[in-house]
Every structure is written in C-alpha cells, then in structure tokens.
Amino acid sequence: GATKKGITQRTLDAWLASTQAPAQDVREITPEQVEAIYFKNYWVASNCPTIPEPLDLCVFDLAVNAGPRRAIKLLQQALTVTMDGILGSDSIRALQVDIEAGKVDTLTSHYLDLRKAFYQGLVNKNPSQAVFLKGWLARVDALMKECNKHV
C-alpha cells in the first residue's frame, strides 16, 4: 500500500482515528504528523528514551522500518536475553550491564550486524525480496556512519 516517510496508510488511518482527525491520504501527510507518529508509534513504543545514544537511533530506525516489536527483539538478541519483543526487566538489566561496562558502541555495532543478517534472512526465506536488499544494507551502512559521529 501507499507509504510516505516510512508511514503506511494504515498507520496514518489509525493515528488519525486516535486523534479524532479527519481521514487523509498518506501522500498528504504533514511534517508535524510524521513527527507525532514517529514519536508515539516508534520512539516511545520502542522504549528509545531508555536506550543510550547512538543505540537509541538504531532501534528507532528499525522500528520505523520493521516495527517496534522487531526492533526490540533484535536488541534482545544483541543482549542475549529472551526475544519476546518487550523491553522488560531482564532486557533492561542486560542493557544496564553493557552501559556500565562501557560497551554501548560495541552493542550498537553488534545490533547493526544483526540487522544486516535479519535482512539477509528475509531474502533467504523469500528470494523475491532480494530487490530490496541493496537498499536495506545501504540504510544500515548510513546509520553506522551516523552512529560513528557519536563516538
């Protein structure tokens, strides 16, 4: 379906209904609406306010691309805790251990490596998705460059 700035028509429809705003085509989404949806549906929904920089950006970006649950599951995989898609107490404790050990940059790099593997896995399961792989990997590489600015 129609998508703009990573927001699908379905996501916009749900957000508009929740704010009691009139229906509109996603192609006409305003920057203010994009910001509000990003904040509520992806930043907050992925618990990014509790995640240190630059890892928070990586989790947020995958949340927009693949959904908050997938973004958190990948973080849990990087933390080697149960992957349930909910950033609960076990995940937060594991994250805190890495933060206190000064391993946020290593964790961020590992997260992005896992993200590349996730995309490759999608293509392995469904070869028709190969058309998107180059763009997905370029997105991860660009994100890594952005993360390196924070180091």
Is it the case that residue 148 has pLDDT exceeding 90? no
Scanning 19-129, the segments in alpha helix (DSSP H) are 31-37, 55-66, 68-79, 89-100, 104-125
- 3-state SS class at 8: strand
Is it the case that residue 150 has pLDDT exceeding 80? no
Q: What's the pLDDT at 81?
A: 97
Q: What's the pLDDT at 151?
A: 59
Asked whether the whole model's pTM tops 0.85, one would answer yes
Is it the case that residue 65 has pLDDT exceeding 70? yes
Averaged over 87-96, what is the pLDDT? Answer: 95
Of 82, 107, 81, nearest to 94 (Cα)?
81
Q: What's the pLDDT at 2?
A: 86
- Our CA dihedral for 20, 25, 27, 30, rounded to 10 degrees, sits at -20
Q: What is the pLDDT of residues 2-59, one digit of tens each?
A: 899 989 999 999 999 999 999 999 999 999 999 999 999 999 999 999 999 999 999 9
Averaged over 136-142, what is the pLDDT? Answer: 96
